[in-house]
Structure 1
Amino acid sequence: MKIPRWSKITLIIFASIVALVLVIYIGLAAYVHFNKKKLLATVTEKLNKNLNGKMTIESMDPTFLKGFPGVSLSLRNVILRDSLWQNHQHNLIEAKDFDVAVNIMGLLKGTIDIEKLGINNATIYLYTDSNGYTNTAVFKKKKQQEKGKEGGSSPAEIGKITLNNVNFVVDNKKGHKLFQFVVDELKAKMDYHLLGGWEADIKLKTLAKSLAFNTRKGSFIKDKLLEGPFKVSYNDGNGIVEVAPNKLNIGSNGFIIGAKFDTGKENTEFTINIEASEILWRNASGLLAPNISSKLNMFNLDRPIHAKCRLKGNMGPGGEPEIYVEAFIKNNVLTTPGGVIDSCNFNGVFTNNHLNGAGFTDANSVIKLHNFSGTYKQIPFSIDTALIENLERPIARGIFKSRFDITKLNNAIGAETLKFTKGTANVNLAYAADIVDFKLTKPLVSGDIDIKDADISYVPRKLNFTNTAILLNFTNNDLFIQNIRLQSGKSVVFMDGTIRNFLNLYYTAPEKILLNWKIRSPQIHLGEFMGFLGSRKPASKARKKNNHKTSFSEDLNEVFEKSNVNMHLSVDKVYYNRFLATNATAELLLSEAGIAIKNVSVKHAGGALKLNGNITQRAGLNRFTVNTVLSNVDIKNFFYSFNNFGLTSLTSRNLKGYLFAKTNISGGITDQGKLVANSLNGSVAFDLKKGALLNFDPIISVGKFAFPFRDLNNITFTNLNGRFDVRGQNITINPMQINTSLLNMDVAGVYSMGKGTNIAVDVPLRNPKKDADITDKEEKKARRMKGIVLHLLATDGEDGKIKIKLNRNREQSR
């Protein structure tokens, strides 16, 4: 095949050019080889010319093929020190290998233009001492006039920069900053603009050993591998370096990162923007400084979140940068120290610059949660905006809203104290609370909790309420309980209450809580509230052992038992077993120790009863003390209502008349409200008017001996008064005169409901009707015991019944 003539000419020209280049390159290589000492001196002199310090290069060797068609120089053991190196001992640059590709034409002109710079196995250490001096002062700053005198010469332009195994450190003692990166690989291709400035395409792979904007608070992204490309530009006019947003891997997560550095400012101001479309909560917190991550790690989100972060600050002594973080959470599971929140949604913001000018500190930090919603223990709720301010001493604020089936509260607070089986709750509360160990304490709350149509059991006291309605109104520290309707069995109660300083005392001193109740009711059956008499049922040990009991339930249970309740009652009808009272008013003080009863006033058995007393609660036995005043009470109904006060011989069937009495009695009462046998202790002073003693066996037994022909089943008297002293099973009958229509008698002694009955009965056989017309009281008294007097003694019989016999000791004394 014949080659065309023009092709031959082209090949000859190309071969000639190649040969010429080779000749020139070989000549340059030879020149460098034979003049490397001179060139090293030239390079060193040129570099040191504009330095406030010294650069030393141990050796320089050409590497011809590596820089072809230019000449590449390999510098060994390059050290750059500032003039005050002796004081701080930190080399600005210390490189084992320093590769420089030099422009051929520059060499021919006697100048050195660097086309490529490679730094390998090196440490670059930018050091600033506590006074603000920096070793970068090794580079002289040219004045504007000096630049003009040099004829507008431009700084050296480096086409490519590579770093391999370079430890890059920025150590600012004055600003408490420490940045350290171990650069595994960096490749930068530079493009310079004619009017000044440059652009660079950079590929980076480095390990972040420290990114501490404040070494006292710790490092961001510590020990994380950074890998990815950058596009960086520099504006020579304003000194701004911009990093275009691009994907960078930090550890195992991908981020979009962009930045801006203003080198024209004295301390180089910067703004760094970071965004991750999907990142786990713990992975995100692990990139932050320990003072922040330690707080964030108290929480967790199960699924990845979308997060953005902006860091803004300067390289000078200004502490931490301004931090602004946004997070977007959808349908996630949030774990907090207080519990787990399902179906969680919110937009969150964190900033350490809540108030401009107050510093970038924990005290000026805030967490904002917008449009927060979720479910806690199956209870749905929402918070329009929640704030956590001052992370040094955190304070939480927000408006809590929820509407739910009240039975779901059993999961939230446990069923040891209150158990809900029906009803709805509507909650609207604004709150502000301290946060201790990331738990709300001592909250200030305002708003309402409205409970309707609820069935509630108070488990420790075994009390059940149906169709209950409660409105809780919180105003700062105070709690107003309004429009309460409680129904327990046949009892219906309407209540309004107030607790002053409730929220403060709830957490600090529940025993000082005083609940003032105003209670009204058409009817109360006291037997349905006997649970208040019993000692508390202890919380389930199994639940405590398994740690199922919530701290809120524990707090609530403690408050119920330690708090004091002052009740002001007004009840139309009060029922208790056989007892019925009307128009009842009373004041009751319920405390941890028991129940104080004050100013009780009721209408009963046609008369009035006033009562004061207390009940002391103990395990298995409750002690009571009562002081009563009875006025014009039908004694038959009175004894019947109180089950004859434990007496067996004298009952309501034996009595008739109207009783006026004062009692001071103490005793025991069971958890079921029953009187403990033989537990009474005290005294009873009575005055029975228009009375009658009906079918009373002890008198009938005496009458069989003394008055076998008289009717002793219906003994009437106009006035009977006396005093009984009660000591357990023994009742001491103080000397008492009984003046009846059929006989008179004097009675004194001890009546026992067990063993020990010893009652002396003096019965004159004289018929009282014979003295009925005597008007002189003294004469009537003197004639009362005239004639034959029968002295009898009532004692215990062998069959357990009372035995009547002659009282021979009394006859002998006469």
Structure 2
Amino acid sequence: MPRWSKITLIVFAAIIGLVLLIYVALAVYVNANKKSLLITVTERLNKNLNGKMTIESMDPTFLKGFPGVSLSLRNVVLRDSLWNLHRHNLLEAKDFDIAVNIMGLLRGAIDIEKVGINNATIYLFTDSNGYTNTAVFKKNKQQKQTNERGSSPAEIRKITLNNVDFVVNNQKGHKLFQFVVDELKAKVDYKLLGGWEADLKLKLLAKSLAFNTRRGSFIKDKLLEGPFKINYDDNSGIVTVAPNKLNIGTDPFIIGAKFDTSKENTEFTINIEAPAILWRNASALLAPNITSKLNMFNLDRPIYAKCLLKGNMGPGGDPLIYVEAIVKDNVLTTPGGVVDKCNFNGVFTNNYVKGNDFTDANSAIKLYNFKGNYKEIPFSIDTAFVVNLDKPIASGIFKSQFDISKLNNVVGDETLKFGKGTANVNLAYSADIVNFKLTKPLVSGSIDIKNADVSYVPRKLRFNNTAILLNFTNNDLFIKNIRLQSGKSIVFMDGSIRNFLNLYYTAPEKILLNWKVRSPEIHLGEFIGFLGSRKPARVVKKRNAGKSTFSEDLNEVFEKSNVNMNVSVDKVYYNKFLATNANADLLLSELGIAIKNVSVRHAGGLLKLNGNISQKGSINRFTINTTLSNVDIRNFFYSFDNFGLKSLTSQNLRGFLNSRTNISGGITDQGKLVANSMSGSVIFDLKKGALLNFDPVISVGKFAFPFRDLNNITFTNLNGRFDIRGQQITINPMQINSSLLNMDVAGIYSFGNGTNIAVDVPLRNPKKDEDITDKEEKKARRMKGIVLHLLATDGENGKIKIKLNRNREQTK
């Protein structure tokens, strides 16, 4: 071995030996002076404290503090001077390790360079009056004087924490921060001009981060792990945390902060940035009062978000919260449905009105450039606001252009079914939000529908080439320029609903739609669906029981709302019926149809009508009151299918009818009269009338007047009253004065069994009395001579049988 190598080894061995000798000497010295050293360490640690630190025991652990000397302190307790009042130890550590400078130790001084706290609790307590146990660290006059003399406090350069429960309980500010520190390592460098810098690495569990204990904790039960670089300036008292990556739970964040300790209540500003985080993961980091509302929504893919928290550790209430988010090509799930291809920039703030408190009432959600597809319908909202989260109010401008057939995905096909056509929507809205549903909305704008095919399913009505313009003005709805075409019928309509949107959500049965209806011609058969009761919408099982869908709401509105129609039609067709210049007022409600002020020209005369149709079950009950003026009776009977009469038809009648009726009965959903359902009365006056080829009269003539022409009997004036009860018509005593025959008729005509009509026929020829002008004389002569008393009764096969009325002959 070369000489220089030998010398080097000898020197190196000598150094090691010297070090070992020194450490042995130190060990002997520490063990021999443990009590005095413990007293010295305790005095050093208690120096400048407004309280007391106690240490149960101390042992040297040399290798931990190499090249210094490490001391292990057991059961260390730190209390402030007012501990007896609040009973909260600021520090309670089973293991408290400190590293002291070896040269200082040899000089008899204790200079602490490193502190390690293990299995401990650090509890920072502030009572309701603002007193805090951290006052134990406040400077006193003695410390200031010491600093002025040039000495400096201990500079702790390394700090480690393991299994430490760290609590900040501020009862005055209603704040509670609690962390379980699994591991913390900090390396501190002190600046020449004052202050320090620290590199810190931590791993901890956040048990509570409650800026307001009445609202709950942020990031509760989340694991935090990552490095920090912290800077403290003595002059300003500001602690700055440089932005760095920190994992909260499984999500990476970039977090930076600033704490101003110069203030009486430390002020803080925390910046949090999440480059890509799932909605539910983000909401789980917030306080429960916010999380519960955000969890009503969801986004399938991660979003970008950043948050600013700004406040103080004093009694100032909640901190300022300002959140920004960017959502791109995402899927948004809301209580009202799913929005695909969703894009927007969002902002949340609890300082909507500057200068007010940071509360839910002063909170707002702002959405900018919101775009998406709702059930294949594209829409956009330039700016949407939701303000006052205590009593939320939503506002914005909703725009959309789409093929109207896509509405089937929104409203379903139980009420309305849409075919071709387009819709253009431009609505500004403002509405309260109750249980995440819009209520008491104010809407202005328009919905323009063109060239649409629409079917109203419950009534089996179909409209083609439909055009509708809906104008919303606050609560009111104005419906303009409607064109409906159903078969041959073309209808033009304008309407309005006052207070529509409020009633839509709260009381649909109070909705009254006022229509002005015009038409060149209407074929009532194409609207026969309105006669039947509404068919119940098909029941669809819902995922969320108890929550109504838009389709169900719309169906309920159609079912319960009322429609008041003023109708003016040039021509009205129904089967054989034709009327012109028709005017009517109709009220359609859940109970049926009320018909008022009907006036039509028909059969050369005027028909006026009032009545109602009650829609319950398959049979609809109707009541009508009519007045006929100078109506051609043949055309009238033909138009109404002879009113169900079989023996007397339009072919048997001629003349001009004036009549008043009050009739009730039943009508089917197909518009057919229900057999034997009618009741009421008919009062008529037939002028210039004729009875043509009427079998019952011809049958009588075969016996009494075999040589007279009874096929064409004319009347100067024929009037009477019929009372209708089911299948029987009561003919009140009536005189028939014709050109060929006079007769008195009274009795019952039945559509079934029970016909019993007494007919008194004088054989005297009425032509013999044509020249008599005295009415009384003419009346006296009417029944002169032989009078034939006949009785019309039930015959075979539903025909009427004529026989002599022997009972009436005996009476006479």
TM range (shorter): over 0.9
How many angstroms apart in 2 are the aligned matches of 1:799 and 1:590?
Answer: 44
User: How do 1:249-398 residues align onto structure 2 when only pairs under 5 Å count?
Assistant: 249-398=247-396
Question: Residue 64 of structure 2: SS of its match in structure 1?
Answer: helix
Any idea what the Cα deviations from partners look like across 1:199-242, whole Å, max 9, x if unmatched?
00111111111111111211111111111111000011100001
Question: Residue 432 of structure 2: SS of its match in structure 1?
Answer: strand
Question: Aligned residue for 1:564?
Answer: 562
User: How do 1:418-567 residues align onto structure 2 when only pairs under 5 Å count?
Assistant: 418-541=416-539, 551-567=549-565
Could you say if the C-alpha distance between residues 196 and 548 of structure 1 is closer, same or farther in structure 2, counting changes exceeding 3 Å?
closer
Q: Look up the equivalent residue of 2:125 and give its one-letter code.
A: Y
Question: Residue 779 of structure 1: SS of its match in structure 2?
Answer: helix
Question: Residue 798 of structure 2: SS of its match in structure 1?
Answer: coil
Q: Look up the equivalent residue of 1:46 and give its one-letter code.
A: R
Give, in angstroms, the shift of residue 584 of structure 1.
Answer: 0.5
Contact 1:414 1:549 in 2 (8 A): no
Deviates more, 1:498-507 or 1:28-37: 28-37
Q: Look up the equivalent residue of 2:51 and give its one-letter code.
A: G
Give, in angstroms, the shift of residue 17 of structure 1.
Answer: 6.3
User: TM-score of the superposition, structure 2-length normalised?
Assistant: 0.97
Q: Compute the RMSD of aligned alpha carbons.
A: 2.0
- Structure 2 residue aligned with 1:749, among 729, 742, 747? 747
User: How do 1:76-95 residues align onto structure 2 when only pairs under 5 Å count?
Assistant: 76-95=74-93
Give, in angstroms, the shift of residue 599 of structure 1.
Answer: 0.6
Question: Residue 157 of structure 1: SS of its match in structure 2?
Answer: coil
Any idea what the Cα deviations from partners look like across 1:681-733, whole Å, max 9, x if unmatched?
11111111111111011111111111111111111112111111111111111
Question: Residue 146 of structure 1: SS of its match in structure 2?
Answer: helix
Contact 1:543 1:549 in 2 (8 A): no
Give, in angstroms, the shift of residue 15 of structure 1.
Answer: 6.8
How many angstroms apart in 1 are the aligned matches of 2:128 and 2:293?
Answer: 30
Could you say if the C-alpha distance between residues 753 and 499 of structure 1 is closer, same or farther in structure 2, counting changes exceeding 3 Å?
same
Question: Aligned residue for 1:414?
Answer: 412
Question: Residue 768 of structure 2: SS of its match in structure 1?
Answer: helix
How many angstroms apart in 2 are the aligned matches of 1:549 and 1:71?
Answer: 71
How many angstroms apart in 1 are the aligned matches of 2:555 and 2:147?
Answer: 88
Give, in angstroms, the shift of residue 148 of structure 1.
Answer: 7.0
Q: Look up the equivalent residue of 2:159 and give its one-letter code.
A: I
Question: Residue 265 of structure 2: SS of its match in structure 1?
Answer: coil
Give, in angstroms, the shift of residue 425 of structure 1.
Answer: 1.0
Contact 2:59 2:73 in 1 (8 A): yes
- Structure 1 residue aligned with 2:104, among 97, 103, 106? 106
1:766 paired with 2:757, answer no
Question: Aligned residue for 2:688?
Answer: 690
1:66 paired with 2:25, answer no
Give, in angstroms, the shift of residue 550 of structure 1.
Answer: 5.9
How many angstroms apart in 2 are the aligned matches of 1:69 and 1:243?
Answer: 31
Could you say if the C-alpha distance between residues 416 and 547 of structure 1 is closer, same or farther in structure 2, counting changes exceeding 3 Å?
farther
User: How do 1:180-191 residues align onto structure 2 when only pairs under 5 Å count?
Assistant: 180-191=178-189
How many angstroms apart in 2 are the aligned matches of 1:329 and 1:144?
Answer: 59
Contact 2:48 2:143 in 1 (8 A): no
Question: Residue 389 of structure 2: SS of its match in structure 1?
Answer: coil
Question: Aligned residue for 1:731?
Answer: 729
**Can you give the 5+ residue segments of structure 1 that lack an aligned partner in the other structure?**
none
Contact 1:627 1:663 in 2 (8 A): yes
User: TM-score of the superposition, structure 1-length normalised?
Assistant: 0.97
Question: Residue 363 of structure 1: SS of its match in structure 2?
Answer: helix
Contact 1:569 1:584 in 2 (8 A): yes
How many angstroms apart in 2 are the aligned matches of 1:549 and 1:62?
Answer: 70
Could you say if the C-alpha distance between residues 799 and 209 of structure 1 is closer, same or farther in structure 2, counting changes exceeding 3 Å?
closer
Could you say if the C-alpha distance between residues 763 and 420 of structure 1 is closer, same or farther in structure 2, counting changes exceeding 3 Å?
same
Give, in angstroms, the shift of residue 547 of structure 1.
Answer: 7.5
Could you say if the C-alpha distance between residues 522 and 543 of structure 1 is closer, same or farther in structure 2, counting changes exceeding 3 Å?
farther
Question: Aligned residue for 1:784?
Answer: 782
Give, in angstroms, the shift of residue 28 of structure 1.
Answer: 4.2
How many angstroms apart in 1 are the aligned matches of 2:143 and 2:151?
Answer: 12
Question: Residue 470 of structure 1: SS of its match in structure 2?
Answer: strand
Give, in angstroms, the shift of residue 443 of structure 1.
Answer: 2.0
Give, in angstroms, the shift of residue 61 of structure 1.
Answer: 2.0
User: How do 1:661-676 residues align onto structure 2 when only pairs under 5 Å count?
Assistant: 661-676=659-674
How many angstroms apart in 2 are the aligned matches of 1:667 and 1:190?
Answer: 100
How many angstroms apart in 2 are the aligned matches of 1:729 and 1:618?
Answer: 22
Contact 2:40 2:110 in 1 (8 A): no
Question: Residue 360 of structure 2: SS of its match in structure 1?
Answer: coil
Could you say if the C-alpha distance between residues 211 and 368 of structure 1 is closer, same or farther in structure 2, counting changes exceeding 3 Å?
same
Any idea what the Cα deviations from partners look like across 1:75-126, whole Å, max 9, x if unmatched?
1111111122222221111111111111233334443221111111111111
How many angstroms apart in 1 are the aligned matches of 2:269 and 2:53?
Answer: 33
Question: Aligned residue for 1:636?
Answer: 634
Any idea what the Cα deviations from partners look like across 1:253-292, whole Å, max 9, x if unmatched?
1111111111111110011111111111111111111111
Question: Residue 647 of structure 2: SS of its match in structure 1?
Answer: coil
Any idea what the Cα deviations from partners look like across 1:445-480, whole Å, max 9, x if unmatched?
211111111111100111111111111111111111
How many angstroms apart in 2 are the aligned matches of 1:485 and 1:800?
Answer: 50
Question: Residue 213 of structure 1: SS of its match in structure 2?
Answer: strand
Contact 1:55 1:79 in 2 (8 A): yes
Contact 2:459 2:529 in 1 (8 A): yes
Question: Aligned residue for 1:122?
Answer: 120
Give, in angstroms, the shift of residue 773 of structure 1.
Answer: 1.0
Question: Residue 422 of structure 1: SS of its match in structure 2?
Answer: coil
**Can you give the 5+ residue segments of structure 2 that lack an aligned partner in the other structure?**
none
Give, in angstroms, the shift of residue 150 of structure 1.
Answer: 3.6
Could you say if the C-alpha distance between residues 114 and 790 of structure 1 is closer, same or farther in structure 2, counting changes exceeding 3 Å?
same
Question: Aligned residue for 2:622?
Answer: 624
Question: Aligned residue for 2:810?
Answer: 812
Q: Look up the equivalent residue of 1:802 and give its one-letter code.
A: I
How many angstroms apart in 2 are the aligned matches of 1:417 and 1:379?
Answer: 19
Contact 2:439 2:502 in 1 (8 A): no
Question: Aligned residue for 2:169?
Answer: 171
- Structure 1 residue aligned with 2:649, among 631, 648, 651? 651
Any idea what the Cα deviations from partners look like across 1:169-209, whole Å, max 9, x if unmatched?
11111111111111111111111110001100111111111
Q: Look up the equivalent residue of 2:644 and give its one-letter code.
A: G
Any idea what the Cα deviations from partners look like across 1:593-634, whole Å, max 9, x if unmatched?
111111111111111111111111111101111111111111
Question: Residue 785 of structure 2: SS of its match in structure 1?
Answer: coil
Q: Look up the equivalent residue of 1:680 and give its one-letter code.
A: M
Any idea what the Cα deviations from partners look like across 1:314-372, whole Å, max 9, x if unmatched?
11112221111111111111111111111111111111121122211111111111111
How many angstroms apart in 2 are the aligned matches of 1:554 and 1:613?
Answer: 32
Deviates more, 1:369-378 or 1:59-68: 59-68
1:704 paired with 2:702, answer yes
- Structure 2 residue aligned with 1:803, among 797, 801, 804? 801
Deviates more, 1:542-551 or 1:127-136: 542-551
Question: Aligned residue for 2:226?
Answer: 228
Deviates more, 1:44-53 or 1:338-347: 44-53
Q: Look up the equivalent residue of 1:633 and give its one-letter code.
A: V
Contact 1:25 1:69 in 2 (8 A): no
Deviates more, 1:132-141 or 1:24-33: 24-33
Question: Aligned residue for 1:46?
Answer: 44
Q: Look up the equivalent residue of 1:406 and give its one-letter code.
A: I
Q: How many residues align?
A: 812
How many angstroms apart in 2 are the aligned matches of 1:637 and 1:11?
Answer: 139
Q: Look up the equivalent residue of 2:489 and give its one-letter code.
A: S
Calculate percent identity across the aligned residue pairs.
Answer: 82
1:242 paired with 2:260, answer no
Give, in angstroms, the shift of residue 45 of structure 1.
Answer: 2.1
How many angstroms apart in 2 are the aligned matches of 1:559 and 1:57?
Answer: 78
